[in-house]
Homo-oligomer: A and B are copies of this chain.
């Protein structure tokens, strides 16, 4: 097998599958008026509210250049608010508005539907999950929720 062939490389299926998944999330997120990266930020906040922009970025592996406009969009929609931490004026503290909190109820149906995207059994799903988490660890991008410190 020629190593320069597309079909012998692991990078491409990751790239193609990731894009395809996000494409299939789109119609499911549209009723919530969210894009995929916006949805990720909301997921993090539903897990733990009142966290810094920095900690959201660490969790999602996104830098301020990406996160700042995403957060500003969520603010303009009315799902979140930002304030400075009075004890450290560098830090932005992000929290859910009432509308943002209320949205969680509506979002409960999303994981049910997204689970069906893959066409996998519960066991297969967990197997993929385990393998991807192991690889994330090797790549140094393992997401630890404890990293998201409250403020």
Contacts and interface: CB of A to CB of B under 8 A. Distances in A.
Interface of A: 2-22, 25, 36, 40, 43-44, 46-47, 59-61, 104, 107-108, 110-112, 114-115, 117-120, 125, 127-129, 131-133, 135-136, 138-139, 141, 143, 145
A151 B68 CA distance: 46
Given A6-B44, A117-B139, 13 more contacts: A5-B43, A6-B59, A6-B143, A10-B118, A10-B125, A10-B129, A11-B22, A12-B143, A13-B135, A14-B17, A15-B22, A16-B61, A118-B138
A46 B145 CA distance: 43
Contact of A4 (B25, B43, B119): B43
B11 A132 contact: no
Contacts of A17: 14, 18, 132, 135-136, 139, 141
6 contacts: A4-B46, A6-B145, A11-B114, A15-B22, A20-B61, A21-B139
